[in-house]
Amino acid sequence: MLCGGKRVALGTVVADGLVVTKASELAGKVACRFAGRDSDAAVVQTNDANDLALLSVPLVGATPVRWAAGEPDLARLLVAPRAAGTPAAFGVVGHAARRVPTLDAATHEGLLSPLEQAEARRRAEKLAVLNPVFAADPSRRRDGFARAFSHDLPRAADESGGPLFDLAGRAVGVNVAREGVAGNLAVPGRVVANLVAGWQVKPAKP
């Protein structure tokens, strides 16, 4: 997903002409890049509780995801596509789905002691040698979600909005935030599917 020509997020195709992405990253004119082609996208619905937006995009040849039943178990192996030209990411579920409360900036800082913060920075620097994405900044909105699970797939903040799959190719969630080093949040697929079904909008025609 592009805003002002800059990539701000990825998207998940949920039906012909309909794409879900991270709502808080969208500002101004929005476009969707697919198969090397940019198409104008219109925001038709949003859900602040999960920071998701539904966009109408005239895509040609995009296959909607197939949702998994239920929510992924702890330690379930997952895979996620990344930005074009970047290898797919692999990782595991680290925390089951739950409500993620809103924390103010001071609380975020206070979650780790100064010694722990320094250790986290050192760990990020070491991991960045293997993969630069480990040193990427966290998402601007990374808390205050109605329901989300944690996973450790390496990804950048501007890769939120993309799908997460199990090894059978079923979508188990939509990435919604990068918390920090090897820490990410995703909204469960069944939550996203229920939202899309409730919105009942007409997709854009190519």
- Residue-wise pLDDT for 148-195, tens only, equals 999 988 888 889 999 999 999 999 999 999 887 658 999 999 999 999
Domains of the chain: 2-63 (2.40.10.10), 77-192 (2.40.10)
Query: Nearest-5° angle of CA 135, CA 38, CA 81?
Result: 40
Burial of 94 (0-12, 13-18, 19+ CB in 10 A): middle
pLDDT at position 164 is 96
Separation CA 127–CA 137 (nearest Å): 14
Kindly state the percentage of the chain with pLDDT values over 90: 62
pLDDT of 125 strictly over 90: no
pLDDT of 110 strictly over 50: no
